Structures are given as C-alpha cells and as structure tokens.
Copies of this chain bind each other. A is one copy, B any other.
C-alpha cells in the first residue's frame, strides 16, 4: 500500500530518552483543507492498524465527509508504515527500537499538522482504541488546539486490568522460541498464532460468542473458522512481532498524566482538556469497560463532556467498523459533535 505520504521528521527525541533519527511519519489525507484551515480532522490509527484500516469511517454522507472536511490519518509509530522496528535501520532496528509513548506519537502528529499543513485548530480528533488514547493525548497536549474529540473504545490511561490482558498477549507471542528475543529472520508464526488465540477471547464479548455473531454477521462457518480465518489471519496479515511489541509497550504505558507538566497526575491532566467531547466506550468492551470512561468523563471538569455508551454485544470491536449498526452509532455521534 503506497497510497500515502511521508512526513520526514528527521531527529525525534523521545520522551523515554532515545533519539529516533530520520524518523518518518506516514499519513493519508482525504478531502481538501479549506482556506481558513478550519476543517481539519485528525484520526489516528489503533493497535496494529494501518491507515487503510481506518477508512471505513470516512465517506460521502458520513460525518467524516471528504467533501466537507480535511481528514488526516497519521500512522502510529511502530505500525510498520511510520517508523517502526521492522523498517528502521540499525542501530535502532527490530528488538532495539526505542520506547515510544502516546505523547511522542501526538508530538510528531502535531508537527505534521502545524509545520507541514500550517493548521492551528483541529475541528475534531477521533479514533478507536489506541486511536482513542491518542485522541485524549491530543486534547491534553494541545488543549487550545483541539475543538472537539470523540474517543471510542479507548481510555485516557491504560488500566491495570488492560495492562494484564496485554501481558498475556505478550507472553503468548514471546513464548515461541522462534521469536529469538526479537532477532528472528522469519516471523515467529507459532507465537503470532498464539497471540491471536489469546486476543480472540478479549476482542469480542461473551454474548457475541454466545449468539454466534461471527457466523451470521461475519460469514465464518464455525467457531474454529473464526479463530483461524479472522484472528490468526489478522495477526499474520503483514504484522511484525517486534512492531506488535513496540505498540504494545506504547499501549501499556498509556497515561495522559505522563504528559510533561502534569507530573503523573492523570486526574489533573483530564482536567486540562478543553475540547467538547463525546466519549464512547462500548457496552461490553472487556478491556476498555464503560466504567473506566465514566470515571474519565467525571474528571474532564474543564470541558463539556458526555459519556455515550455504544450498546450491543460486539465488545471492543464495536469500534472496528465491522458492524454497520455500531458504525452508524459512532457516525451519528460524530455528526452531532461536528454540528455543535
């Protein structure tokens, strides 16, 4: 997929101390920036997602309408399109790729938006999962720049339980000897498939499996067909073990309180948000449960923020664009927010 642009970041000094040299931010845009540069939307990617896997939320007649808005999808660092373990030359290559935070990601996105496009205000930042985490980070890092935000199925701080879920994912991937501590020549296939099986129980809700929604709505012929065809296929689709682990670190360490100036105070960071917000967890999301987002909204005391739960059985993948009803729910929220 070469349908994207590259913003040359040159040297990026990361929050954890390393310098990522000749770093590159890959992005794709939709629509046209208007004259007063007031119609820009940033829509970051999610864990392992690439820009083309975000496009389902963009389209004519939808909230993210390219006829009306200039939509930028920046690829998260580590996702294999922007600078990542798999595409960075030595010495910061592969298992030596440095730790990257959400703050770092949003920092380089901010450079793209301001230096390259000369944009001073964003009409909206939105995203799914780690894209939602980047949305929160945008609103905390640049409170005067983000006018609206709609994080869906994410959080402002990775909860301990979410951290533990990711520990299981990581352990399953790295249990494979073929992983070789990250110095493999071939992908650790057994580890990637194990990771997929671990992920499968978390990505969708208990009720999703009880109702066999993977058959009726997604067209898989059996439970095992879903585990192999959807889940194993997902992690084998051009995804790289070190990239997955780099993004996993970013996720596990997600916390807007780590933004410079807040001294680790997550609640104070939430209080700095000024963007008008609709916060959308999914009812049965097993690792970003609605109560965590209710907590966050309760601390966005400086913003007009509403909690609006996506109903239904799709769990975390309510935000994945697979279910038209959930997509419509999110799209309606985006329309309402953009019109306000």
* Interface assignment of A120: CB less than 8 Å from any CB of chain B: no
* Contacting pair A159 B286 (CB below 8 A): no
Q: How far is the CA of A195 from the CA of B168 in the complex (A)?
A: 7
Given known A-B contacts A172-B175, A291-B207, A163 and B197 have beta carbons under 8 A apart:
no
**In the docked arrangement, what's the CA distance between A300 and B64, Å?**
51
Known interface pairs A177-B177, A210-B160, A223-B163; A172-B194 also in contact (CB < 8 Å): yes
A198, B167: Cα distance in complex, Å: 7
Known: A165-B201, A168-B200, A176-B177. A159 touches B210 (CB 8 A): yes
User: Quick check: is A306 within 8 A (CB to CB) of the other chain?
Assistant: no
Give the complex CA separation of A91 and B243 in angstroms: 44
> How far is A197 from B172 in the complex, measured between Cα atoms in Å?
9
Interface size class of A (residues with CB under 8 A): 35 or more
Evaluate contact between B175 and A194: CB separation under 8 angstroms.
yes
For A167, the chain B residues whose CB sits under 8 A away are 197, 200-201, 227
Q: Which residues of B contact A200 (CB under 8 A)?
A: 164, 167-168
Nearest CB of B to A207, in Å: 7
0 or 1 for each of A145-174: is its CB under 8 Å from B? (1 = yes) = 000000000000001111111011011101
Extra A-B contacts (17), CB below 8 Å, given A168-B172, A176-B177: A160-B209, A160-B210, A161-B209, A164-B197, A164-B200, A167-B227, A168-B198, A168-B201, A170-B197, A171-B172, A172-B172, A175-B190, A176-B176, A206-B286, A206-B291, A206-B292, A286-B286
- Which 8 pairs between the two chains have the least Cβ-Cβ distance? A168-B198, A171-B194, A161-B209, A171-B197, A175-B175, A160-B209, A172-B172, A175-B194
